[in-house]
Structure 1
Amino acid sequence: MGKNKLFWRLRYVDYMPGYLKSVRSTLQFCTILPLGDSSDYDSYARRFYLFPLVGYVTGGIAALLTMLVSDPALSAAVALAAVMILNGFHHFDGLLDLGDGMMAHGSREKRLKALSDQNVGAGGIASGMLVILLAYAGLMSIAMVPYAILIAEVLSRFSPVFLLTFGEPIKEGMHSYTHDFGKKWFPYAAFALCVPALFLAPGGVGFMAAGIASIAVPLFLLVVFKKIFGGVNGDMDGASVEISRMAVIACLALVL
């Protein structure tokens, strides 16, 4: 018995620093939080199922900031501004690129070219505006903005984990590199991390609506991306966060 206890204690000591390093690396990759020297990217890629933990941090900070504002309209604006700034507009940039690719006319090659173009076109601008407006309108209609932004920010992180695991890469890049580290159980682990946030949703209807939205969005996006682009890239992973956050907020607004 003594040897077994020593074995598991050594295993704990061996693995915990790795997990903590992965959490730090994930936060550094996804946010602008000052967390010291940059960790190696592989620490994030090996355990990208930890993505929802970022939502607890960014969503938690945003929730606290909204509590300082009494006006509902301003509170909703502060919530969205906070999460987007904390994310360094990292995912929003992917949404703009995706919008350009989706709106491009012609062959798949033309869509991929528009997707990777550094300039933002009308499709990207319109996509960004629509997602922000829908998320803002949803928050405006929900009395419990702090809870809504925290729930949505956490659940939105399930989408990139799902896409990184099951989305076939369309080219070499950040998505393809991270995809190689993926395991089929990663989405299950990511959703398990999301479950505590689901319990913050008021009532069983809110719980079901938020949970269904968080799962339905990446499933739908995976089908769309495969059909239109032939696979997934990093821009789509980032865009899925913005789209999922908006979808969860919208569903909460509809049922509440």
Structure 2
Amino acid sequence: MRSVLALLQFCTSLPLGRPVEFEQFARRSYLYPLAGYVIGGIAAGIVYWIGSPAVGAAVALATVLVLSGCNHFDGLLDLGDGLMAHGSREKRIAAMTDRTTGAGAVAAGVVVTLIAFAGLLDAANLPAAILTAEVCAKVAMSYLTTLGVPFREGIHSYLHGFARPWFLVPATLLALPLFLLPLPRMSIALALVAAAGIAAVMMLLARHLFGGINGDVVGAANEITRAGVLLLLALL
């Protein structure tokens, strides 16, 4: 339970009392999907009572961003700056890790948010869609934490140092309760495949552009996976 509490203190802005030692979660980063159930579950519970699809989609996205403290969204913005930077790998890393917000950050934030909103707007079951997308996003984070070789010291390198290849198994198993949701089982299966695919693409892209993974890339994977899964569910 201390590991779960440390996870929620890291991934959410919920008032959860005195901070638990971060190592409690670092040793069990396969628990990431549990944060998805908490964040997505709260958002789903709120939008269940909203009749308007447009308002429900907006409230759902606002809820998951606020509950996560926008930490992962910040990673998306930083990645956007790194992707749009020109020049050497060092210049891309500098653009991604500095404290300024450039056009690449704005573009990444707008594009990913628009895709997520459009996906939610067309979702057949909005509460189930936001819960599924949030859990899948955390599965992708767990995969990257386990497999993504860091290019610098930081939160990701700390988590990666404790991760083991077998972490992929419990991280995946924790997503299986999604099949109990009122969505087609094939849609859930494809959403999990999409999460793994996005994590793989992010890892390959980051390795090529930056020489490895950092916390910004992992956080960006959360936002991109959420949007990708919502778009997939809408198209299905």
Question: So what's the TM-score if we normalise by structure 2?
Answer: 0.98
Tell me which residue corresponds to 1:215. Answer: 196
- 1:42 corresponds to which of 5, 9, 23: 23
Q: Which letter does structure 1 place at the counterpart of 2:45?
A: L
Q: 1:131 to 1:252 in 2, by over 3 A?
A: same
Question: So what's the TM-score if we normalise by structure 1?
Answer: 0.90
Q: Deviations over 1:142-178 (max 9, x none)?
A: 1210000001101110111111111111111111111
Identity level (%)? 47
CA contact (8 A) 1:149 1:249 kept: yes
The structure with more radius of gyration: 1
Check if 1:155 corresponds to 2:136: yes
- 2:171, 2:191 → 1: CA distance? 15
Following superposition, which runs of at least 4 residues in structure 1 exceed 6 angstroms of deviation? Answer: none
Secondary structure of the residue that 1:168 maps to in structure 2? coil
CA contact (8 A) 1:148 1:201 kept: no
- 2:35 corresponds to which of 41, 54, 66: 54
Q: Please list every run of 5 or more consecutive structure 2 residues that lacks an aligned counterpart in the other structure.
A: none
Tell me which residue corresponds to 1:98. Answer: 79
CA contact (8 A) 2:178 2:188 kept: no
Q: Please list every run of 5 or more consecutive structure 1 residues that lacks an aligned counterpart in the other structure.
A: 1-19
Q: Deviations over 1:168-217 (max 9, x none)?
A: 11111111111110010111110110111144262243123212111111
- 1:234, 1:186 → 2: CA distance? 18
- 1:126 corresponds to which of 102, 107, 114: 107
Give me the CA root mean square deviation: 1.0
Check if 1:139 corresponds to 2:120: yes
- 1:70 corresponds to which of 28, 43, 51: 51
Q: 1:201 to 1:113 in 2, by over 3 A?
A: farther
Higher relative contact order (CA 8 A, sep 6+): 2
Q: Which letter does structure 2 place at the counterpart of 1:150?
A: L
Secondary structure of the residue that 1:180 maps to in structure 2? helix
- 1:92, 1:107 → 2: CA distance? 25
Counterparts of residues 1-256 of structure 1 (less than 5 Å): 20-200=1-181, 202-255=183-236
Tell me which residue corresponds to 1:9. Answer: none
CA contact (8 A) 2:194 2:229 kept: yes
Q: Deviations over 1:76-95 (max 9, x none)?
A: 00111100100000100000
- 1:122, 1:116 → 2: CA distance? 15
Q: Which letter does structure 2 place at the counterpart of 1:74?
A: V
Aligned length: 236
